[in-house]
Amino acid sequence: MQSFRTELENPVVELEIIELERKIRAFREGKMPEEKFRSLRLARGVYGQRQPGVQMVRIKLPFGRVTFDQILKIADVSDEYASKNLHLTTRQDIQIHFVSLDKTPELWAKLAEDDMTLREACGNTVRNVTASPTAGIDPDEPFDVSPYARATFEYFVRNPICAEMGRKFKISFSSSDKDSAFSYIHDFGFIPKLHEGRRGFKVMLGGGLGAQPILAYEIYDFLPEEEIIPYMEATIRVFDRYGERTNRNKARFKYLVQSKGLEEVLRLIEEEKTAIKNKTFTVDREKITQPEPPTAPVGTVEPVDPAAFAIWKRTNVFEQKQKGYFGVYVKVLTGDIPTDKARELIAGVQGHIANDIRITQDQNLLFKYVREESLPHIFNLLTRLGYAKPGYNSTSDVTTCPGTDTCNLGISNSTEMARVLEQYIHEFHSDFVYETDLKIKISGCMNSCGQHGLAHIGFHGASSKVGGKVIPAAQVMLGGGTVGNGVGRVAERITKVPTKRVLQVVDYILQDYKQNRLEAENFHAYYDRQTKDYFYQLLKPLADTTNLTDDEYVDWGHEGTFATAIGVGECAGVIIDLVATLLVEAEEKLDWARQALDRQQYADSIYHSYNSFVWTAKALLLDKGVNARTQALVIEEFDKHFVADGTFTFPTTFSERVLQINKYEPSREFAETFLLQATAFHLEAADKREEIRTINN
């Protein structure tokens, strides 16, 4: 198996860790505004929890790939700094909770020893690049998308074009037309294709979940492999310039596509291609190769429960495209693995699986290159640890976010609801462990961290007022899910029920489906035939709150009466609007531009200079009470308020000067000229602001 240079061996990472420690100290001493500090720590994977004084730390694991050593290192770190638990996320990260802010630089340094980073795991950045967990072993794949996912991660991490956007940006790579990485709900989704022996991708653009799910547009049925990263770069530059930065609820890329129209966004992307770093980008296919199969001798082992083993093998095991080897799915309830179990799991599988474990989008694990004779041993190990339940990717495999366990935005206890639902289905609807075309997903609030928006049966946390009291409720969503090859469906809102009635909701729907479906009719066809109103009428009795019991005033997993306690969410960072802070940041970006120029990174230098122009202009506009929503409007408003009245003069306009950025190729000559112009503008702006303050005082 290939090895990578560890993060800690990278001098840039060392400087980042030192910088985080310095910024924490400045924040503690009151020298850094809280909003600025929050934005900085989010971009370094440090996220505020519901519980005051502690943090969630998100570890960015590109395409969900994790090794034995990495899992053991995360377990050690969680024992020392967190709550002795590993939480697998729907974006193939691992999160640890209840971390002291002051310990995060030390924690990061230890993770970096095993090639793991916190960089841009949260905040207004390109988030973790996800991929089908089966990539590389999928019998249906045209080729392995793992190298492309890794290359995308490496290209955009620490890239100035996406370090401080208006909101987050999400990218996925599916391994086949089955689209198990959900291309249709990503800002960019890619599905591999072969055309006349040439590799490329179907490209989906502008999708997203959240409180208002929007399906992505197909913009290419085949884009050659060497063009996908340049196309992403041009698109992200457009998003950075034109994306909303004031109203965070409208700041995702999907809303930019909505407001400007797809045709205009595609035109802007083409226009931006002049300035991008690479016109083509060749992905090193050998950077991610297939791992070494296990070589340890295997003795004869009998399964502890032959009947259960047979069901587990049928639902959780598949033969890889590499004949003679099997992929094994490990069901992890609510995505939580205590550290002691993580160590026992790794000790038990070594010699039986490849050192290449994948985290799945439904919070489970995938083992690769398992020999058939090792299956009983793995089943027995998983049984002992409590991870051998059958029904991977079935109705009984419920996806959930952490909800009110740790999240500021959580309204309901989604994790306990998921545990109860899984147990209920295994007990009373056991035939559904074989049903893979009907998924249940839960989020603790209307945001879709638990993916309820793409579920066949989805729930999200809510509340209802009954007789002057607030009760925990669940919004019921039906009819969403993956169709395939870039086509997906958004679940529709049906009704809202008291949270404690979700078991009855699932019971009503599953019973009705079994009784009334046509032969070979899947849930989507059944839902469409019956219509939305049919399900509203079916569930209407459960929405009746005139007959509440005392227990229904209490949320799952709680004892006291329900009360909503929603904090400030940090899912997408914050808007920084302090004038002095903006000017300091603008000067900092000039330093970065000089450093990039010295390293002959001309495109990066130019972008840092561009950001200095924008940050400086925004500072002066805010000083005048003008708050522009996008970078493009900042540039436009500066001409109106400062150039038109002669306060600043340019050969033509401020807009024309700044937007040179997408008119020239990224050369040394242009990088030097643009940096000189940005430096002169920043110095003049600082002087003029000081003059104004002196006059006013």
Map tokens 């839960």 to a residue: 442
Residues near 652 by Cβ (< 8 Å), separated by ≥ 6? none
Q: Classify 597 as helix, strand or coil.
A: helix
Place of tokens 């309204």: 411
User: What is d(CA 203, CA 181) in angstroms, rounded to the nearest whole number?
Assistant: 13
CATH topology of domain 399-553: Sulfite Reductase Hemoprotein; domain 1 (3.30.413)
CA atoms of 647 and 665, how far apart (whole Å)? 31
Structure-derived torsion over alpha carbons of residues 327, 331, 335, 336, reported in degrees to the nearest 10: -110
pLDDT at 566: 46
pLDDT of residue 463: 87
The DSSP 8-state label assigned to residue 641 in this structure reads: I
Contact 498, 551 (CB under 8 A): no
pLDDT for residue 414: 86
* pLDDT at residue 9, as a whole number: 56
Helix H or strand E segment including 593: helix 579-598
Q: Does residue 244 contact residue 630 with C-beta atoms inside 8 Å?
A: yes
pLDDT digits (tens, 9 = 90+) for 38-96: 777 888 888 888 788 889 999 999 999 999 999 999 999 999 999 999 999 999 999 99
Return the percent helix, strand and coil in the chain, to nearest 5. Answer: 45, 15, 35
Torsion of CA 576, 581, 583, 589, to 10 degrees: -80
d(CA 256, CA 254): 5
> 306-385 — its CATH code?
3.30.70
Among 284, 287, 179, 265, which residue's Cα sits nearest to residue 219? 265
- The pLDDT assigned to 467 comes to 84
Distance in angstroms (rounded) separating the CA atoms of residues 360 and 146: 14
Domains 306-385 and 399-553 share a fold: no
Say how far apart CA 389 and CA 56 lie, in whole Å: 28
Give the whole-angstrom CA distance, residue 250 versus residue 266. Answer: 19
Alpha-carbon span 446 to 493, nearest angstrom: 11
Cα(614)–Cα(232) distance, rounded to whole angstroms? 22
* Model pLDDT, residue 5: 42
**Please, are residues 45 and 137 in contact by the beta-carbon 8 Å criterion?**
no
Q: How far is CA 393 from the centre of its chain?
A: 20
pLDDT digits (tens, 9 = 90+) for 259-288: 999 999 999 999 999 999 999 999 999 999
Work out whether the CA dihedral 241, 245, 247, 252 comes out positive or negative.
Answer: positive
Q: What is the pLDDT of residue 413?
A: 82
Q: Which residue has the tokens 């913009």?
A: 219
CB 443 within 8 A of CB 478: no
Q: Which CATH architecture has domain 1-123?
A: Alpha-Beta Complex (3.90)
Domain ranges of the chain: 1-123, 306-385, 399-553, 579-696
Report DSSP letters for 199-244, one per residue.
EEEEEEES-B-TTS-BPPEEEEEEEEGGGHHHHHHHHHHHHHHHS-
| pLDDT-flagged residues of the chain (< 50) | 1-5, 8, 566-568, 572-577
Q: What pLDDT does 171 receive? A: 98
Contacts of 79 (CB under 8 A, 6+ apart): 339
Cβ neighbors of 196 (< 8 A, separation 6 or more) are none
Fold of 579-696: Four Helix Bundle (Hemerythrin (Met), subunit A) (1.20.120)
Cα distance between residue 432 and residue 195, in whole Å: 38
Is the CB of residue 405 less than 8 Å from the CB of residue 56?
no
What is the bridge-based pairing of β-strands 325-330 and 365-371? antiparallel
Distance CA 542, CA 79 (A): 43
